[in-house]
Amino acid sequence: MKSSYWGYLLVILGIFVVAILMLTQSVTTSNTQDYYIVKEVTEAAMVDAIDYGYYREYGELKINKEKFVENFLRRFADSVGLSKTYTVEFYDLYEAPPKVSVQVSSDAGSFTVGTDTTEKSVTNRIDAILEISGEE
């Protein structure tokens, strides 16, 4: 009889551990994935938004703000799933020299333990400056 109680205890403990892991997993993996998605999408959108005509004429980098925002939103929407709600905000969009600041907030969900409900959100902010190196 004693060994069956130990078996019940291990099963209940296992269920408890799995429940805790499921609650915390969505917050921890979302933050890392969202950060790298925002970083890569920002870099790719800045490269896509380069005004090559201005570069050929004056030898300086310049991006088109509207093209950057369009490329960023398109690439970001292709990269994320539909399971979360994202809020994208753009700060400091400078065309020359090319500098952008992007903030992406995602709703990680709400957790209810007993009568206490906690809502979590994850915010990632990227400041990026595009530059070239080499001789002209």
CB 111 within 8 A of CB 23: yes
Out of 42-51, 60-69, 85-94, 111-120, least confident range: 111-120
DSSP β-bridge partners for residue 89: 103
Residue 27 has pLDDT above 60, yes or no: no
The domain segmentation of the chain, as residue ranges, is 29-129
DSSP β-bridge partners for residue 95: none
71: confidence class by pLDDT, cuts 50, 70, 90: very high
CB 78 within 8 A of CB 40: no
What angle, rounded to 10 degrees, do the helices at 65-79 and 2-48 form? 150
25: confidence class by pLDDT, cuts 50, 70, 90: low
Q: Is the pTM of this model over 0.85?
A: no
The conformation of residue 98, written as its DSSP 8-state character, comes to T
DSSP β-bridge partners for residue 129: 99
Q: Long-range pairs for 43-50 at CB < 8 Å and ≥24 separation?
A: 43/128, 44/71, 44/75, 45/71, 45/72, 45/75, 46/98, 46/100, 46/128, 46/130, 47/130, 49/98, 50/98, 50/130
